[in-house]
Structure formats: structure tokens, C-alpha cells
Amino acid sequence: MALACVGFPNVHATAWMLIPAAGALLGTFETTRCLRRRWSFYHGGVLLLLYADILVLAVILFLLLYPWAQWLQRT
């Protein structure tokens, strides 16, 4: 959804990217609720899912903020 909102590969600035960013942030929060106090293989699996969620969130935030960083783009 994030790639469709930003118009990949011709990335342009849009406020619609806030919707996938909020969804990914909510998903990451929901995944943290599955953690247990004692370590087990289940806990390790949830940690791997948290790392994947954080990676997706970082990509979405990059796509959200990159079009406004004019100093990074060639003119």
C-alpha cells in the first residue's frame, strides 16, 4: 500500500503516506503485546517479527520523508 501511495518508482510527496505509516506503527505495537516475560522459542519468534515490523516501518518513513528532502535530490 505504501508503494502505491507514493507512486513508486516516481516518488512524489503525498500526505496519504501517513495512513500506511500509522498502520505499520499500530501493527508494531500489536506485535509487542505478544511478548512474554520468560524467554522461549515463541518469544524469539515474536522478536524476529518485531525486527521485520521495524524494518517495514523504516522503509515507509523513508518513503514519507524522502520527497521533502530537496537537498538529497538532483535538480
Mapped onto helix, strand or coil, the DSSP state of residue 37 is: coil
pLDDT, tens only, 7-63: 777 777 777 788 888 999 999 999 999 888 888 999 999 999 999 999 999 988 888
Mapped onto helix, strand or coil, the DSSP state of residue 38 is: coil
**Rg (alpha carbons) of the chain, rounded to whole number:** 16
pLDDT reported for residue 12? 74
Q: Which residues contact 42 (CB under 8 A, 6 or more apart)?
A: 36
Q: Which residues contact 30 (CB under 8 A, 6 or more apart)?
A: none
Grid cell 520523508 is found at 65
- Greater pLDDT, 22 or 71: 22
| pTM to 2 decimal places | 0.76
Domain map (residue ranges) of the chain: 2-72
